[in-house]
């Protein structure tokens, strides 16, 4: 095993614990313990803030600063009638900055045109969780945000009741007004703001939340709240920041993780035009924070980049990664025929059932490492001020910068201010704030001047927390009726610490369809790895779905059965796979999306020669998705995806426009990534820029048709679960079109190296 580990697995374990799905009953308990508090000042309006039970911290001060409220709660009603809503979590392109305020405005019964929206300050003591990840923002905030709106509405209604001298029961609300229908009188929320602030805070238990038929906003289409600023080029992103006295920085790390600076031409660099300073940082040994490297500070980004290109570093790679993807592939192929030593699932008697099977199917699947490659490269502006620090970052985990910075600088957490800025893409990359740690360390070392650190695209590709590659060696046995009676998978993955799989490279024991198998065997082998891995959009699911949902189609095809009918039989009767956990797979919801996708796609219809229709189902992040892909393959093995139908059940949809955008994006991301790969040799990533990492362009995009089954369950997230079924749906469709089975990503390579099956 590696003598030294530079993985971010411990960090991710902590982050991902937050994303765990809490069953409804436990959620209700938490909610009951929620304490609603009110704070008013200056008589100017109404501020509500929450402390979520279990946070264990006092609510942060809501005292006025210079006669104004400190904006640390969810909403604020001004006497003018304008309603300011704070969106508590980071916007990374998933649309949460619009969706969160919609939920609050719904329960407040506000007119959307009266609402202004601002990003909330980073203060988890007030807001609870403020991360964006795991598709958990909506489910974890659903009750809290509705209560925030409903409590405010109740207080406005109480104030109006006093004003109008009528009982509360005679009052209704609509479009930011309290209405007394009997007398035809109406009072706007703005006119009630001061009086509402004096009303007692209602008990959370007494709050009457809307039923779904009462929704006026939720479920309709709303444009993103930053759209006008985006199309007019306003400063919105971290990279757009400029603060007084700021200098521009680059940071250069060893291309193989774990390398240290042996020597560098620092003196030469310092003499280059525009360069203000250059120095070595030793780092703290944590790849999720600060690894060794050379910082260059200059009077413009270009001066810093230009100097970086002249930088020559001799790296001490004695403890650095020597990872090799080609050697790994060879090793995995060697291991493929055996079972892994570690058993994850063992039910019944796989060997016996497989031996007795009438038909046997075996297949080996593989997929490579890929990068997040967000359009906005990692960057951060930071100002170390001696006993305090201020940081501006596009990040998925802003509250973690509070704790990591405080620890790194040896100062109290309340001496750290973090501003969460709209991020030019996340996909899981910005769950790690290494770039923020670098920026604050550079600011400190430079003597406390504010620094904007910008990574080059090449830095961004080299120093990602990659989606790990992996391998699956499957065996399935069929009985005389074409029923799958035995299933095994030898999963070959990676480990950094020798104990657990790397982040994004694991497989849960609930992996479908193992819970349905009377004779199932899931074993695992972990190969050593130093390359840092992380959470890439639907981590583990985006790759496991490809392997499992493709192999299941191989099995149904070998049995000569209809794939939809085969999947529905596997699912069996409607039930939760983990009883009592409504975040687990529900076979009824699964069957529902599969049936609707089949219906919408015209499953079973005749297709022209060379065309194929494929189907895949996957459950991840509490979302049930079935997708069909219709493809054609030309004589040069070029795959054209004509149409993808997405059917999802994530409960009610909050914002239809952004939800449809998310599913379209997930389909295109899925098709794009099925054809991408990174090479790793001598611990280095071989690809440096988009010319070597060809993300899908506008040509060849399919038509995407989305249907949501808006079931009665509480809403769950959409950032991730629409992605995993895309690749297997396309692979299955290619098989239907050509008889060629894709068992490897990138798909184009699998097809070009494969003779007709």
Partner 1 sequence: MITLTVNGKTVEVDDSDPSTPLLWVLRDTLDLVGTKYGCGVGQCGACTVHVNGVPMRSCSTPIAAAAGQQVTTIEGLAREDGTLTAVQKAWIDLDVAQCGYCQAGQIMTATALLRRNPKPTDEQINTAMFGNLCRCGTYIRIKQAINAASEAIAKGGVA
Question: Which tokens is 3 given?
Answer: 């003598």
Nearer CB in complex with partner 1: 485/666: 666
Identify which range of 175-183, 373-381, 503-511, 748-756 contacts partner 1 by CB under 8 A: 373-381
Q: Least distance in Å: CB of 420 to partner 1?
A: 14
Task: Give the count of alpha carbons within 13 A of 166, CB side only.
Answer: 18
Under rule CB under 8 A, residue 672 binds partner 1: yes
Could you give the 3-state DSSP secondary structure of residue 623?
strand
Q: What residue spans of 602-716 are helical by DSSP H?
A: 656-673
Nearer CB in complex with partner 1: 321/456: 456
Report the site for partner 1 in 293-332 (rule: CB under 8 A): 300-302, 305-306
Nearest to 546 by CA among 514, 511, 496, 594: 511
Strand-strand pairing, 293-298 and 247-253: antiparallel
Nearer CB in complex with partner 1: 487/629: 629
Enclosing H/E stretch for 550:
helix 541-558
DSSP codes of every residue in 136-201: -HHHHHHHHHHHHHHHHHHHHHHHHHHHHTS-GGGEEEETTEEEETTTTEEEEHHHHHHHHHTSPP
Phi, psi at 71, each rounded to 5°: -75, 75
Which of 661, 716, 732, 744 is close enough to bind partner 1 by CB under 8 A?
Answer: 661
Which of 181, 214, 338, 689 is close enough to bind partner 1 by CB under 8 A?
Answer: 689
Nearer CB in complex with partner 1: 99/287: 99
Pair 144, 100: CB distance under 8 Å: no
Pair 702, 642: CB distance under 8 Å: yes
- Cα separation, 587 vs 624, in Å, equals 9
Size of the site for partner 1 (CB under 8 A): 66
- Cα separation, 565 vs 310, in Å, equals 62
Q: Least distance in Å: CB of 18 to partner 1?
A: 22
Nearest to 693 by CA among 731, 641, 743, 746: 746
Strand partners, 316: 260
SS3 breakdown of the chain: % helix, strand, coil, rounded to 5?
30, 25, 45
Identify which range of 122-130, 217-225, 399-407, 515-523 contacts partner 1 by CB under 8 A: 217-225
Nearer CB in complex with partner 1: 241/527: 241
Nearer CB in complex with partner 1: 454/473: 454
Which of 7, 89, 586, 664 is close enough to bind partner 1 by CB under 8 A?
Answer: 664
Question: Which tokens is 448 given?
Answer: 């406390």
Under rule CB under 8 A, residue 422 binds partner 1: yes
Identify which range of 192-200, 211-219, 422-430, 464-472 contacts partner 1 by CB under 8 A: 422-430
- Cα separation, 627 vs 546, in Å, equals 12
Nearer CB in complex with partner 1: 108/247: 247
Kindly report the number of other CB atoms within 10 A of residue 503's CB atom: 31
Q: Least distance in Å: CB of 245 to partner 1?
A: 14
Question: Which CA distances in Å does 135 have to 152, 399, 680, 716, 719?
Answer: 27, 17, 30, 7, 5
Q: Least distance in Å: CB of 93 to partner 1?
A: 3
Cα dihedral sign, 88-91-97-98:
negative
Which of 169, 481, 606, 699 is close enough to bind partner 1 by CB under 8 A?
Answer: 699
Nearer CB in complex with partner 1: 141/664: 664
Strand-strand pairing, 684-685 and 623-633: unpaired
Nearer CB in complex with partner 1: 340/702: 702
Nearer CB in complex with partner 1: 35/696: 696
Residue carrying the six token digits 């992380």? 534
Q: Least distance in Å: CB of 302 to partner 1?
A: 4
Could you give the 3-state DSSP secondary structure of residue 431?
helix
Cis peptide before 585 (omega within 30 of 0): no
Identify which range of 178-186, 289-297, 527-535, 694-702 contacts partner 1 by CB under 8 A: 694-702
- Cα separation, 492 vs 488, in Å, equals 13
* b/e sequence 361-390, b meaning 16+ C-beta within 10 Å: bebbbbbbbbbbbbebbbbbbbbbeeebbb
Q: Least distance in Å: CB of 594 to partner 1?
A: 24
Nearer CB in complex with partner 1: 157/667: 667
Under rule CB under 8 A, residue 374 binds partner 1: yes
Cα torsion through 549, 137, 407, 74, rounded to 10: 180
Report the site for partner 1 in 236-265 (rule: CB under 8 A): 236-237, 239-240, 242, 248
Identify which range of 7-15, 131-139, 519-527, 696-704 contacts partner 1 by CB under 8 A: 696-704
Report the site for partner 1 in 505-534 (rule: CB under 8 A): none
Could you give the 3-state DSSP secondary structure of residue 97?
helix
Which of 42, 43, 54, 223 is close enough to bind partner 1 by CB under 8 A?
Answer: 223
- Cα separation, 16 vs 216, in Å, equals 34
Question: Which CA distances in Å does 442 have to 89, 382, 394, 514, 575?
Answer: 27, 9, 18, 50, 54
Identify which range of 325-333, 334-342, 489-497, 658-666 contacts partner 1 by CB under 8 A: 658-666
DSSP 8-state code for residue 68: B
Could you give the 3-state DSSP secondary structure of residue 520?
strand
Q: Give the E-state strand segments of 575-665 in sequence order.
A: 611-620, 623-633, 639-649
Under rule CB under 8 A, residue 608 binds partner 1: no
Cα torsion through 581, 584, 588, 589, rounded to 10: 120
Under rule CB under 8 A, residue 456 binds partner 1: yes
Q: Least distance in Å: CB of 378 to partner 1?
A: 12
Which of 56, 167, 184, 233 is close enough to bind partner 1 by CB under 8 A?
Answer: 233
Under rule CB under 8 A, residue 429 binds partner 1: no
Pair 257, 531: CB distance under 8 Å: yes
Nearer CB in complex with partner 1: 96/564: 96
Under rule CB under 8 A, residue 686 binds partner 1: no
Under rule CB under 8 A, residue 376 binds partner 1: yes
Which of 51, 381, 523, 658 is close enough to bind partner 1 by CB under 8 A?
Answer: 658
Nearer CB in complex with partner 1: 231/755: 231
Q: Least distance in Å: CB of 228 to partner 1?
A: 6
Which of 208, 234, 509, 638 is close enough to bind partner 1 by CB under 8 A?
Answer: 234
Which of 41, 78, 335, 696 is close enough to bind partner 1 by CB under 8 A?
Answer: 696
Q: Least distance in Å: CB of 668 to partner 1?
A: 3
Under rule CB under 8 A, residue 395 binds partner 1: no
Which of 65, 327, 375, 574 is close enough to bind partner 1 by CB under 8 A?
Answer: 375
Q: Least distance in Å: CB of 718 to partner 1?
A: 12
Q: Least distance in Å: CB of 379 to partner 1?
A: 9
Q: How far is CA 400 from the centre of its chain?
A: 16
Nearer CB in complex with partner 1: 423/547: 423
Binding mask 88-127 for partner 1 (x = CB under 8 A): ----xxxx--------------------------------
Identify which range of 4-12, 443-451, 550-558, 659-667 contacts partner 1 by CB under 8 A: 659-667
Cα torsion through 650, 653, 654, 655, rounded to 10: 120
List of residues contacting partner 1 (CB under 8 A): 92-95, 221-224, 226-228, 230-237, 239-240, 242, 248, 273-274, 300-302, 305-306, 373-377, 422-427, 454, 456-457, 657-658, 661-662, 664-669, 672, 689-691, 695-699, 701, 703-704
């Amino acid at each position: 095993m590696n003598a030294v580990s530079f993985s971010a697995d411990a960090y991710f374990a902590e982050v991902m614990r937050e994303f765990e799905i809490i069953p409804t009953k436990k959620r209700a308990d938490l909610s009951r313990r929620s304490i609603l508090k009110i704070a008013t000042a200056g008589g100017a309006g109404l501020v509500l803030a929450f402390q979520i039970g279990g946070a264990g911290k006092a609510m942060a001060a809501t005292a006025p600063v210079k006669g104004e409220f400190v904006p640390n709660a969810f909403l604020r009603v001004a006497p003018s009638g304008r309603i300011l809503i704070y969106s508590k979590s980071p916007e990374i392109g998933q649309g949460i900055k619009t969706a969160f305020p919609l939920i609050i405005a719904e329960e407040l019964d506000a007119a959307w045109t009266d609402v202004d929206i601002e990003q909330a300050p980073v203060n988890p003591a007030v807001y609870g969780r403020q991360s964006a990840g795991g598709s958990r923002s909506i489910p974890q905030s659903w009750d809290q945000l509705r209560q925030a709106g409903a409590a405010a509405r109740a207080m406005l209604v109480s104030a109006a009741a006093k004003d109008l001298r009528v009982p509360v029961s005679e009052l209704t609300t609509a479009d930011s007004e309290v209405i007394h229908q009997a007398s035809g009188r109406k009072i706007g929320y703005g006119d009630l703001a001061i009086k509402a602030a004096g009303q007692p805070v209602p008990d959370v238990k007494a709050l009457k939340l809307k039923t779904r038929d009462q929704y006026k906003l939720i479920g309709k289409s709303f444009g993103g709240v930053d759209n006008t600023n985006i199309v007019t080029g306003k400063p919105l992103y971290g990279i757009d920041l400029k603060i007084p006295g700021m200098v521009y920085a680059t940071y250069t790390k060893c291309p193989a993780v774990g390398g240290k600076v042996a020597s560098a031409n620092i003196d030469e660099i310092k003499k280059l035009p525009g360069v203000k300073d250059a120095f070595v940082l030793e780092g703290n040994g944590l790849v999720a924070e600060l690894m060794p490297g050379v910082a260059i500070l200059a009077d413009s980004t270009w001066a810093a980049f230009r100097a970086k290109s002249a930088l020559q570093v001799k790296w001490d790679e004695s403890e650095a990664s020597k990872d090799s993807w080609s050697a790994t592939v060879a090793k995995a192929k060697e291991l493929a025929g055996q079972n892994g030593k570690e058993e994850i699932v063992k039910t019944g008697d796989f060997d016996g059932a497989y031996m007795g099977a009438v038909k046997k199917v075996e297949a080996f699947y593989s997929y490579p490492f890929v990068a997040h490659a967000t359009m906005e490269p990692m960057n951060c502006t930071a100002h170390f001020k001696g006993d305090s620090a201020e940081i501006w970052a596009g990040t998925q985990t802003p509250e973690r910068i509070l704790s990591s910075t405080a620890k790194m600088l040896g100062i109290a957490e309340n001496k750290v201010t973090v501003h969460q800025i709209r991020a030019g893409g996340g996909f899981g990359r910005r769950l790690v704030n290494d770039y923020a740690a670098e920026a604050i360390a550079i600011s400190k070392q430079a003597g406390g001047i504010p620094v904007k650190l910008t990574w080059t695209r090449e830095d961004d590709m080299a120093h990602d927390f990659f989606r790990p590659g992996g391998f699956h060696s499957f065996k399935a046995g069929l009985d005389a009726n074409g029923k799958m009676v035995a299933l095994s998978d030898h999963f070959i993955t990676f480990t950094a610490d020798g104990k657990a799989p790397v982040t994004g490279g694991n497989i849960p024991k609930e992996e479908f369809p193992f819970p349905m198998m009377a004779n199932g065997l899931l074993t695992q082998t972990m190969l050593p790895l130093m390359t840092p891995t992380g959470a890439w959009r639907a981590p583990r699911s985006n790759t496991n779905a490809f392997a499992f949902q493709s192999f299941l189609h191989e099995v149904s095809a070998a049995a000569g059965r209809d794939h939809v009918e085969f999947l529905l039989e596997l699912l069996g009767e409607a039930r939760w796979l983990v009883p009592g956990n409504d975040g687990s797979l529900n076979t009824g919801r699964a069957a529902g999306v599969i049936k609707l996708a089949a219906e919408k796609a015209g499953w079973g219809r005749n297709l022209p020669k060379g065309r194929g229709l494929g189907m895949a189902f996957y459950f991840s992040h509490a979302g049930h998705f079935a997708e069909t892909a219709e493809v054609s393959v030309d004589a040069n093995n070029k795959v054209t995806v004509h149409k993808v139908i997405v059917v999802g059940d994530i409960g009610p949809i909050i914002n239809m426009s952004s939800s449809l955008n998310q599913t379209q994006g997930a389909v295109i991301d899925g098709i794009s990534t099925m054809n991408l790969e990174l090479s790793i040799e001598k611990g280095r990533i071989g690809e440096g820029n988009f010319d070597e990492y060809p993300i899908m362009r506008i040509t060849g995009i399919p038509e995407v048709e989305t249907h949501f089954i808006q079931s009665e369950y509480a809403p769950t997230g959409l950032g991730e679960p629409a992605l995993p079924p895309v690749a297997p749906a396309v692979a299955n469709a290619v098989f239907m079109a050509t008889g060629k089975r894709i068992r490897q990503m990138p798909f184009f390579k699998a097809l070009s190296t494969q003779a007709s099956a």
